[in-house]
Amino acid sequence: MTYSLLDKISVPADLRQLERSDLPQLARELREFLLGSISQTGGHFASNLGAVDLTIALHYVFNTPEDRLVWDVGHQSYPHKVLTGRKAMMHTMRKQGGLAGFPKREESEYDTFGVGHSSTSIGAALGMAEAALLKGEKRRAIAVIGDGSMTAGQAIEALFNAGHRDDIDLLVILNDNEMSISPNVGAFNNYLAKLLSGKFYNGFRDASGRVLDRIPSLKELAKKGEEHVKGFFTPASFFEELGFNYIGPIDGHDMETLVTTLTNIRGLKGPQFLHVVTKKGQGYKLAVDDPVKYHAVTPFTPCDGMAGGKSGGKPTFTQIFGDWLCDMAASDSRLVGITPAMREGSGMVRFHNEYPKRYFDVGIAEQHAVTFAAGLACEGLKPVVAIYSTFLQRAYDQLIHDVALQNLDVTFAIDRAGLVGADGPTHAGSFDLSYLRCIPNMAVLAPADENECRQMLFSAYQHEGPAAVRYPRGSGMGVTVEKAMTGVAWGKGVIRREGEKVAILSFGTLLGAALEAGEALNATVANMRFVKPLDCELVKQLAASHDLLVTVEENAVMGGAGAAVLECLANCGVSIPVVQLGLPDHYVEHGEQKALLADCGLDGEGIAAAVRQRLNT
């Protein structure tokens, strides 16, 4: 398909050659292109459609990449990628060797900051603005942050740090897609934003301030009057108190208003805050009507939309957790569930519906989620924190200081452990075994299949003290899940295959690959189940009856489960060769999950090959 305007744009400099009147047509073409592209590759959808107009306006007004444009999270950066020379590569989005699903510095000079986690944009842009000041460079730094990311403490900390700095050229744009501007007041709000960002208003305000400095009582009166007028029509007070010049809210799909307002802001000094209201899925009615469903999509037919949920397939580990949580809550009124803004992703929709008073979504605030759970546990409740492995990294101090140090009874259900496929290294749970097992009082469980996941969640919940159950994205081996919650023997592994000479110690859901390798090698295979407390008796037993031990885990080799086995052997004075297999000491890029595991040597063939190589040396 050809596009009369979009096909002419290779870099933003080409975009800036267009007439302003051409920009709405360009936005329509860009949305049409994204619909065709993302419906074939899958990926983040509604958020990207909602950010099209803002992206065009930013690259049109500002001199990117000299002016630094920082996206928060980056799940709305596809239009940015198209306009910055990557249109021809969009068919490779999130595929191995193709474009990343988030901004990535190695990919383009226009990707000024690599992201994937939320609420980092303001701090990064402030650092860039400060660097420009120190280096004597005339350029702006622009942070684009969504309303959800504003719930995180890191964003607020950056705002506090940036405010009242009249010498820095920083613009924070709040992309607010949760509210809408009523038609009867939208035009006035747009007009007000243009007025507040214009030279006349700001020049008048600065000049009057210098005059009123000599008459403090009148200055205070004038200041209060200005705040009253702006605060009456806009939620300006909070950001003004932080030292930002608040502008907005404006319609994020009105190109004329966007360009005019951004052009005016470009001429202002000091920290600026622009409030832009957008709609997720803008331009595609099905996504506008159901932005949650169309937040991240698999390939679909645009004319038909996304199909309903799959039925009859293997349950995912996330679904198993969600069902267990509801079943456990039915039998124990002390249970409360906590999520840092990941209700759907963590499988808590049913729990929220059935137990609304015991469900807590704390927003994108992982640190608070963990400390909040600690407070609940202090009062005799039984909190379950449902969190992605990569996001728990953000609450590490709270995990140690607020939960483990006090030996509080908090259960952590850690989703997305190991490689996550298309989302890439920013979302991979590559380190949780390493960073959890070194914490005193912390128990760490790694189920091998669906039923073990349910039973281990029960065991961890019954355990008095902090315990974590980590499980991967997607489904497992298809093992039948038993309704009865019987738990597992605490701290004990089990031998799944008897063999000779070589013993493979598997931690977690790589058990299937370990069994495949065991068949090829006639090796013993043990499902270790627990990373901490480690079944040291089983380790010693296997060491005494075999010539080589092989540890297998979907976690960084450094400090992981294999390291725990080595420590056990060293403490027992046992000397035996050990091969540690796991994730390498570099970040594993995005791609299909099965292929990535094979690349890391963590499929059956790779495990067997590593053993044969060791035996031949």
- pLDDT greater than 70 at residue 229: no
The pLDDT value recorded for residue 347 is: 96
- pLDDT greater than 80 at residue 231: no
Residues 268/205, Cβ–Cβ less than 8 Å: no
DSSP run (H or E) holding 537 = helix 536-545
- pLDDT greater than 70 at residue 421: yes
DSSP run (H or E) holding 28 = helix 23-41
- pLDDT greater than 90 at residue 412: yes
The pLDDT value recorded for residue 212 is: 44
Q: Which structure tokens are listed for 412? A: 């952590």
Q: What mean pLDDT comes out for the span 75-87?
A: 97
Of the two residues 551 and 192, the one the predictor is more confident about is 551
- pLDDT greater than 50 at residue 454: yes
For 103-132, the pLDDT digits (tens) are 999 999 999 999 999 999 999 999 999 999
Of 123, 133, 144, nearest to 64 by C-alpha is 144
| Of the listed ranges 120-129, 305-314, 372-381, the one predicted with least confidence | 305-314
- pLDDT greater than 90 at residue 203: no
The pLDDT value recorded for residue 147 is: 83
Radius of gyration of the chain (CA): 27
Q: What are the Cα distances from residue 583, in Å, to 190, 365, 445, 556?
A: 52, 28, 18, 5
E runs forming strands in 434-475: 443-445, 467-470
- pLDDT greater than 50 at residue 167: yes
Q: What mean pLDDT comes out for the span 20-42?
A: 97
The pLDDT value recorded for residue 208 is: 45
Of the two residues 198 and 571, the one the predictor is more confident about is 571
The residues facing 418 across adjacent strands are 429
Q: Residue 527 CA to chain centroid, in angstroms?
A: 31
Q: Count the neighbouring beta carbons within 10 Å of the beta carbon of residue 88.
A: 9
The pLDDT value recorded for residue 158 is: 95
Cβ density class 134-159: b for 16+ within 10 Å, e for less: eeeeebbbbbbbbebbbbbebbbebb
Of 98, 99, 90, nearest to 30 by C-alpha is 90
For 16-26, the pLDDT digits (tens) are 999 999 999 99
Highest mean pLDDT among 78-82, 173-177, 191-195, 301-305: 78-82
Q: Residue 125 CA to chain centroid, in angstroms?
A: 19
Residues 261/268, Cβ–Cβ less than 8 Å: no
Preceding amide of 65 cis, omega within 30: yes
The pLDDT value recorded for residue 152 is: 85
SS3 119: coil
| Of the listed ranges 85-94, 96-105, 206-215, 237-246, the one predicted with least confidence | 206-215
For 550-564, the pLDDT digits (tens) are 999 999 999 999 999
For 565-581, the pLDDT digits (tens) are 999 999 999 999 999 99
The pLDDT value recorded for residue 308 is: 61
- pLDDT greater than 70 at residue 141: yes
Alpha-carbon span 291 to 295, nearest angstrom: 6
The pLDDT value recorded for residue 536 is: 98
Alpha-carbon span 298 to 38, nearest angstrom: 8
Alpha-carbon span 518 to 504, nearest angstrom: 7
Q: What mean pLDDT comes out for the span 51-58?
A: 98
Of the two residues 351 and 197, the one the predictor is more confident about is 351
Question: What percent of the chain has a predicted confidence (pLDDT) above 90?
Answer: 83
The pLDDT value recorded for residue 382 is: 98
Residues 391/340, Cβ–Cβ less than 8 Å: yes
Q: Classify residue 169 by burial, with Cβ atoms within 10 Å: 0-12, 13-18, 19+.
A: buried
Provide the greatest CA pair distance for the chain.
92
Q: Which residues contact 307 (CB under 8 A, 6 or more apart)?
A: 300
Phi, psi of 129 (to 5 degrees): -65, -40
Q: Which structure tokens are listed for 380? A: 């005799």
Of the two residues 500 and 147, the one the predictor is more confident about is 500
pLDDT band at residue 241 under the 50/70/90 scheme: confident
CA angle in degrees (0–180, nearest 5) for 289-292-298: 105
For 249-291, the pLDDT digits (tens) are 999 999 999 999 999 999 999 999 999 999 999 999 999 999 9
Q: What are the Cα distances from residue 161, in Å, to 13, 122, 242?
A: 33, 10, 9
The count of residues in the chain is 617
Q: What is the mean pLDDT of the chain?
A: 91
Residues marked active site are found at: 280, 366, 394
The pLDDT value recorded for residue 122 is: 97
Q: Which residues contact 290 (CB under 8 A, 6 or more apart)?
A: none
The pLDDT value recorded for residue 193 is: 62
Alpha-carbon span 165 to 168, nearest angstrom: 6
